[in-house]
Structure formats: structure tokens, C-alpha cells
Structure 1
Amino acid sequence: MFLSHAYSHLRQTPSPTIPSHPSKPTSQSPAFSARSARIHLWPESAVQFENSKDRAEGVEAVRAVAAQYGIWIGVGFEDPVPRADRHGGKGKRRNGVILVDSDGIVMEHYKNHIVPVTESFSITPSTEPPTVHTIQIPYGFRQGRKHQYPKRPLSLTASICLDFAHPGGLLTLGERPDVILAPASTWDASIGEGMVQQARMRADEVGATLLWCDGGGSAGEGVSAVVGRGETGESVGRRSFVRTIGIPWLGGDESDDRVVAGRTLYARGGDALALSLVWALVLGAWGAGRLADTFGHEGHRATKEVMVRFNRRIRDGISWVRERIRSARERRAVASVQEPSLIEVA
């Protein structure tokens, strides 16, 4: 899978139409598509829409590029909040990201957590959580080989910058996404590094690969990265890059018994599950102590028996986890025999 980031800051772009300057994401996307890029991501607030007509023209310009090159383009933008949706919010604008293909907008999400002071008076936060959308991407072929599946499904979701400092949003997803689009705009490289680590944790919590594209910093020192599922790779500075990643898929259609990755254990239980495990250990130790105090020597012996059984349960649990990991690796090995899908993000 090829991922490419368009790392440029477009706050000063006077028009949402396709600019000709080579540093702009819109002109970078065709260049990356020639290198087999499939998904292109621009930074947070890359384009400024001033009204609905402005937005429609800008989306159409992006759609035309997506249709010409057969790609998907994630656009970070700001636009006016519709009057019907303001609900008393202070800001008159909203911060969002859309995924555009040859048919138009296929995914749309607005920032839930705005930056205090900096965005408090200009941006209205959204109350809608992120959702998962599935697209069909061309399957990766090796020259001289045929494959019965011309396309493969890829599930995506998106959140924006500071949203990744709050794990609750992605934990509401009903299924595990393959890729998380994460446009961002920080003001310093150290802040960008910290936010990348936050994003990495969010990706690991839901078992996804995350594309972080940071167009911030007055000197262009934003950090962009691909993280999650063991992926590592960063780029610092106002430039674009392409990343190749692998996402397991066994292929087939609805009738096949293919392996479908479910939600992670943490995504299912969240912090409540972790706290429950901690309290189980604490209460277990407390109960063992009370048992020993109550029954003296017999209590100590009973406590020892309880601890032996407890340790046996732990060993059984570890063996079960190891078996699950081994099975997952075998499934990935089967999947890796097939052709990898190629996706680019710019």
C-alpha cells in the first residue's frame, strides 16, 4: 500500500481551485499519483472556503483531479458553519476533513476538540463522532500474474489534530478501521512530535494504521508520519513524501470464510476494562490477606491454594494469548502470499 502526504500550508491560498505552484498539495497529488499513490492527504485547514459556492467549486476542482488520476484525496479545510448548525457556538467557522474521489465527497468529519484560546473564538467544535467508511481500491498486481479480485475493500476513518489527545472518539467506532486519516497543524516541532505520539497510541488502541500530516509551524517544521500496526516513519519540514505499507486482506466476497479483523480488546472495553483488571488484582490480594487473618494457619494454607489456582489461571491466559497471536501471524502469512494493495496518500 502506498501512502503519500502533501505537506504544505495553504492558509494563504486565495482560492480553493487547483493552484499551479508546485508546493501546493493540489499540484502535488497528480505527481504522486504517477508513483502509484492511491490516497492523498493534505494538512489541517489546508484550504479556506468562504461560502457554500466557494466550497462547491473547490470540491469540484479536487474531484476532477481525483477522477483524472483514479485517486482519493483527503482535504483539510475550514468553512462557515451553517446557521442551522451553530447551536450557540461562538465560532462562525468549522474545521473539517473530506475524502474526495471521482464521484465527489465519500467521507466527511469535523473537529471535535478545538485548541483553547487559539480556536475558541473562531471555530465551533463538532459533536458528531468519527465514523468508518469503506472504499474499493484497485488490487495490487504483479506483472504477468492474474488475480480474481480486481478490487479490495479498505475501511477508513478520520480525526483532526487535537482530537487524538482524547481517546474516546475512536473508541466509539463500531468496527476496526484499516486506515485513519489525521490532518494536523501544530505550531512547533516539539508539539508536533508529542501529538504524533498521541496519535500513535490512538492507532494502537483501535488496531489501525494512521497517517499524520502536519502542515503547521511558521518555519514549516511540522511533523508528518505513518504510525500504528508497527509502522514507523516521519518527515519533518514542508514537503511531501510517499510511504508503502501493508494491510492484511484475505480477499474473496461475502460467501468466503475470510478472516475479518475485529475490534481490539481495548477498543471494546476502554479504560473501564483496564481499571477492572487492576481492581481485580487489588481485591484478590486483599481477599487473600483477609482469609489468612481469619483462619490463621489454615488460612495461610488456603491462601496458598488460592494463589496457586490464580497463577495457573494467569498461565492459561498467557498461553491463550500466545495462541491467538500465533494464529493471527499465520493468517497474516496467508494474506501476505497474495498481492499487496497499493495506496498513496498525498
Structure 2
Amino acid sequence: MILQLVRFYPFGAFVVFTALSSYLALQPLPSSVPLIAFLSILRLETTLVIHRPWTFVRLVAIWAAIFIGCFFSFVGLRFGSPEAPVVTASYAVIFSLLGLFIVVLAAYCGSNNFVFPALWATWWLVIAQMSPVGRLGAWSPLIGDDTYSWLRPHVSDFGIDWIVGASAEVLSCFVTWHVLGFNQRHQNDDGNERRDHRNEEGDLQTERVDSGRVKFLLFILIALSFPSSLTELLPEPLHEDNRHDVGVSCVLPDLSGPRTSFDAFMNETAIVAGRAHVALWPEDAVFFETEQDKETGLIKAQELSHQYGIFIGVSFLEPLLEEGEDRGKRRSGTVLVGKDGVMAEYYGRHPAPCECIIAPSSHWLIYTVSKRVPERSLPGIVNITLGRKNTKHFWEMRLSASIGLDFAHPYSHFDAKPQLILGPARTDHRKMAQVMMEMARHRAQELRTTILWCDGSDSGLSGLVGSGHTRKQVGPGTWVERMVARIPSEEEWTLYELYGAFFGLLCAWAPIVLPMIPLPDIRITFPDPKPRRANVAGRLNWLLRRKRPQRDVRTGTLVEI
């Protein structure tokens, strides 16, 4: 029934399929399988549409179907908020246009099956670099990519996007050839296949198809899935040579009592100080109204650190006192405090640009945040000394930090590999909490490190991500977890850390660019060899096979037979 509808009313059926599949694929937490199915439908649909009349009208209908599915997949994130429909519609318009544009461009770029995966991955790489919200909203899977997750330390999310594009390309070709039966294939004289299909007006159209490329693309996808079955993503053993267990804590006290938030966080930190080496407060845990309040609070945190020997990540919100365009704005920051005072200070590098549905932090609805970030807030590395009072049991550990939306952006190169990254956050919806935690997991996989994720909202997720850790907690409640640190740290740089996305771009575009490079016509001629009287092997064969001469009885001479 469905196939008959597709054959008699192909465009109308494809528009309906596009709307349904976009709703399933473009959820706030995209999964790889629905996304591949949606892209394969979109890829097949746009390829057929560009060869038919009324192309622009048909593309507008396809975009409208994507917009409807995308809008309804996100409309529930801010239920009850008066601005939710407008914000959701703006998001759906922007990202549906971005996604459809690159699919249509690939349809005009010819029949090379390697073009669409390369364009798809490159496009979202550019969007992530330019967008103020990074990879939030990108048509890229956040879950369901475990089979190819081993690629992330080498080519980051670029490799996962290429896998999605290649899978959609193979699936669309399979559906076109073997399921829908739109075309009849036969071999040309040059060995390439040609598929013929009639459009709705009855005009016969011919497209050249190189089935060898599709088969090779399928072979690559299968080959790249094998390494995941040979590796196990498990935390490292606690008790082995050159390894030390480190206690880390996310401080999430109950703020319903009469105490101020700063006192509540200080008391909760003192409770876990005996079990944790590093304690982190969630994003915007306390608010410092003046610089004097900030200095007083950090001195109290230093005294607590000196008393218990614990390192405290104090996350705060402060107003900007400068005159000019930043006057009245606020910024989020995190200070790492040790027994000797402030060791490092970080500020959010990518604040949410507006009251947007994909902004992770609820406090953006209350005030604006400055985009100006001082140089000292750029992510760096700080060494902390852990261990017992006996100097033989002291060791150093490298830490860094990022805040909230920073984890939605690809990391730049670190001067040294951090063993632990502090990740204070604050989200306002359970689904967005999952999205941001998956973003942190991807950053941890890229660097092969561990992130202490601490979400301070009532519906937030907290835990350790990366290095095989899977601990998660929903909502408030202070917890302590043990992680393993290699001492000394192993400087095993990944390809992504060394070369960024260049290696992935090289691998994606090489099959397309290399065949286009004209090779020089070089002919090497050799002089004719001197003629030989006889071939040695042939002469020996003749000597062995010839019969012995016989004597003529009449004349007495030898005669060759």
C-alpha cells in the first residue's frame, strides 16, 4: 500500500515522510538511526526534485515539512513560557534552512557518492565554528554513535558527521534501486550503470550511477565499525602501578533553608572534604554583588581549603563594574581555590546570545551577560598537588575548566593534556540537561580525559563523563566519586589535538579531489634490443624434443627426421 502510494504520488508521499522523519530525527537529543533515515529520504527526494519542473516550489514544500517536524520536536522544552513558540519557530527556520541547503547543494554536485558525506561533515564543522551556540542545533547525533565513537579522538565530531552522511548516501541508493523500483538499470559500454526513470510528466530521464563507489562506501562503513568491538570503554583500575585514585565531588546542597547560598555551599564542602580532593560548585552557585564580597568569599574558601587540604572550584556570578556598553551586565566565572589562595580563574567564553530555547542556562531570562572575556579566562592548565603529608605520597595533577555552553564548542589545542576538566553548568530542562552532558562527553572523548560535570538545576544531570565513567545523578544532592589519574600523566596526543579538523578534512575530500588532478602524460620508450639468433629456452626445448638422426642404408649418411 505504501509503496503503491509512493509510486503513484511520489512527491506527496515524500513530503509526508519528510515531516514524520524530521520530527523523529531532529529531537533535542538526536539519535543516529532516525537521523540517517531522515537524511536518506531527504537525499533521495532532493535528487529527484532538481530534475523536474517547479523545482523551487517543490523545495519550499520540502522545507515546510522539515520546519513542521523540527518545530514540534522542540516546542515542549519551554512549556508554558509565552515566548516559547516564537523562539522555537526561529530555531526551526534557521536550522531547517541550513540543513536543507547543503543537501540541495550536494544534489547539484553530480553523482559522485563521496561528495555528500564530505559536504555534510564540512558544513556542520563550519557552522560549529561560526555559531554562538556551537554544535547545539546541528543535525548531528548525540546518542547512538557508540559503534564509531572511537573515531572522535582522531577526527572529532567531523568523523561522526561523515559516517552519518555516508550511511544516508548508501541507504538512499539502496532504496532507489531495490525498494521503490523507480529505475531500470543496465550496463553502458564503459561498465558504468545507467538508471532510467520517468518523472511525473512522463519524460524519460537518465542518470549515470557508479555502483562501484556505493559498494566501496559501504565497505568503508563496515570496516570502520570493527575497531569498536575490539576495545572496551571502561574506567581504569584503581590499584595499579603509576595510578592514583582521586576523590571528586559535586557540591549540590539543599537551598530551601534560611542560610545564604554561600554558607550552604561552604558547609556542604566541609562535609565532603575528608573524602574528596577536588570539590566543584555548579554554575552561578553564588552571587558576588561587589568586588569586596568576592574577595571575602574567596578568603573563606581559602581557609577551608587550608584546613582540610581540598581544592574548591567556586562558581559565581558577578556584575561588570566597567563603564560603557558592558555596564549593568554580568558574567559567570569559576575560581579554583587552594590553600595558598586563588590558583586559576575562568570565565564563560560563550555566553548565550539571547533568550533562546537552546540556551542551557535558565538565568539568561533574567539578565544579559557580557560577551567580553578577559585574557586570563581563556582555558589553561593548572597543576595541583595531591596526596598525604608524607612527601613520598605527593603527586601532581593537571586541571582545567570550562563553563556551561563552552562545552558545545570544539576545544582548541591545550598546551598540556588536562587529566580533569571542571564543568559547572546550570540547565532549565531535563532534555537540555541530557544534551549538555552529552556535549561534555564528546569533548572528553576528543581529549581522552575526564570531565567533572556539575549541574545545579533541579532537573539537571551531574556525574563523571569520559574515560569510561557512566555515573549520573538527577537533581540536587552532593555526591563524591573516585576517578583514576595516571601519575605521571601520559602525553598521548590524539590526532585531533595535534592537527584539529585538518586530518578529517583530508580523509573526506581526498577521494573527490585526487581523481580530478590531471596526471602528466609521461611515456618512456626503450630502444629496440638487438635481434638474437634464437631464444635460449626455445633452443633447449628443440634439442630435447628432436629425434636422433638415422643413417641411410643406401648412401650411409645421417638423415635428420
TM-score, normalized by the shorter chain, greater than 0.5: yes
Q: Deviations over 1:283-335 (max 9, x none)?
A: 34556xx78xx99xxxxxxxxxxxxxxxxxxxxxxxxxxxxxxxxxxxxxxxx
**Would you say the 8 A contact 2:441–2:466 is kept in 1?**
yes
Q: Which moved more, 1:42-51 or 1:111-120?
A: 111-120
Deviation at 1:242, TM superposition (A): 1.0
- After alignment, is 72-81 or 267-276 more displaced? 267-276
In structure 2, what is the equivalent of residue 131 of structure 1?
380
Give 1:209-224 correspondences, 5 Å limit. Answer: 209-216=450-457, 220-224=458-462
User: Which of residues 16, 29, 33 in structure 1 aligns to 2:269?
Assistant: 29
Which residue of the other structure, out of 237, 242, 247, is the alignment partner of 2:485? 247
The structure-2 alpha-carbon separation of the partners of 1:112 and 1:90, relative to structure 1 and needing over 3 Å to count, comes to farther
| Equivalences for residues 245-324 of structure 1 within 5 A | 245-250=483-488, 260-284=490-514
Kindly state the Cα deviation for residue 12 of structure 1 after the two structures are TM-superposed. 11
Of residues 277, 283, 290 in structure 2, which corresponds to 1:44?
283
Length-normalised TM-score, structure 1: 0.69
Question: Partner of 1:171: helix, strand, or coil?
Answer: coil
Q: Percent identity at matched positions?
A: 31
Query: Pairwise CA RMSD of aligned residues?
Result: 2.7
The answer to whether the 8 A contact 1:176-1:261 is kept is yes
Tell me if structure 2 keeps the 8 A contact 1:78–1:95: yes
Amino acid at match of 1:99: L
Output the TM-score relative to the length of structure 2: 0.44
Match of 2:353 in 1: 116
Distance 1:27-1:13 versus aligned 2 partners, 3 A rule: same
Q: Could you tell me which amino acid in structure 1 is paired with residue 499 of structure 2?
A: G
Output the CA distance in 1 between the equivalents of 2:404 and 2:424: 6
Q: Which residue of 2 aligns with 1:103?
A: 340
Map Cα deviations across residues 21-69 of structure 1 (whole Å, 9 max, x no partner): xxx33211111122x2110001000010000111111111111111111
Q: How does 1:72-91 map to 2 (within 5 A)?
A: 72-83=311-322, 88-89=325-326
Which is bigger in relative contact order (C-alpha 8 A, separation at least 6)?
Answer: 1
How far apart, in 2, do the equivalents of 1:101 and 1:16 lie? 21
Code of the residue aligned with 1:131 in structure 2: it is G
- Matched position secondary structure for 2:473: strand
* Distance in 2 of aligned mates of 1:130 and 1:249: 22
Aligned to 1:160: 403
* C-alpha separation in 2, matches of 1:158 and 1:108: 9
The whole-number CA distance in structure 1 between the counterparts of 2:349 and 2:510 is 34
Deviation at 1:272, TM superposition (A): 2.3
What is the SS of the residue equivalent to 2:501?
helix
Counterpart for residue 433 of structure 2: 192
Whether the aligned pair in 1 keeps the contact of 2:321 and 2:327 (CA below 8 Å) is no
Q: CA deviation at 1:91?
A: 5.1
Query: Which residue in the other structure is 2:248 paired with?
Result: 3
Contact 2:320 2:326 in 1 (8 A): no
Q: Could you say if the C-alpha distance between residues 227 and 13 of structure 1 is closer, same or farther in structure 2, counting changes exceeding 3 Å?
A: farther
Select the residue among 449, 452, 455 that pairs with 1:208. 449
For residues 470 and 424 of structure 2, what CA distance do their matches in structure 1 show?
17
CA distance in 2, matches of 1:162, 1:174: 22
Give the deviation of 1:81 after TM superposition. Answer: 2.0
- Secondary structure of the equivalent of 1:176? coil
Does the CA contact (< 8 Å) of 2:253 and 2:476 recur in 1?
A: yes
**1:205-248 Cα deviation digits (max 9, x unpaired):** 122110010002xxx11110201122221110111111111111
In structure 1, distance between residues paired with 2:325 and 2:258: 29
DSSP-derived class of the 2:485 partner? coil
Can you list the C-alpha shifts for 1:153-204, whole angstroms capped at 9, x where unaligned? 111110001110011xx32321111100000000011101100000111111
> Does the Cα contact within 8 Å between 1:6 and 1:28 map onto a contact in 2?
yes
Q: Tell me how many residue pairs correspond in the alignment.
A: 264
Does residue 182 (structure 1) correspond to residue 431 (structure 2)? The answer is no
- Equivalent AA in structure 2 for residue 5 of structure 1: C
In structure 2, relative to structure 1, the CA distance for the partners of 1:38 and 1:283 (3 Å cut) is: same
Distance 1:87 1:127 in 2: 16
Q: Which residue of 2 aligns with 1:55?
A: 294
Q: How far, CA to CA, are the matches of 2:368 and 2:385 in structure 1?
A: 37
Match of 1:149 in 2: 392
CA distance in 2, matches of 1:285, 1:177: 41
- 8 Å contact 2:254–2:477 — kept in the other structure? no
CA distance in 2, matches of 1:81, 1:132: 25
8 Å contact from structure 1 (residues 11, 45) kept in 2:
no
Distance apart, 1:150 and its partner CA? 2.4
Q: In proportion to residue count, which structure has more helix? A: 2
Q: What amino acid sits opposite 2:413 in the alignment? A: T
Larger-gyration structure (1/2) = 2
CA positional deviation for 1:14: 7.9
Gaps of 5+ in 2: 1-245, 356-363, 523-561
- 2:304 is the counterpart of 1:65: yes
Look up the SS of the partner of 2:392 in the other structure. coil
Unaligned runs of 5+ in 1: 142-146, 251-258, 296-346
| 1:96-153 deviation digits (Å, cap 9, x = unpaired) | 00011111110100001112324395211326421111111116x9xxxxx9732111
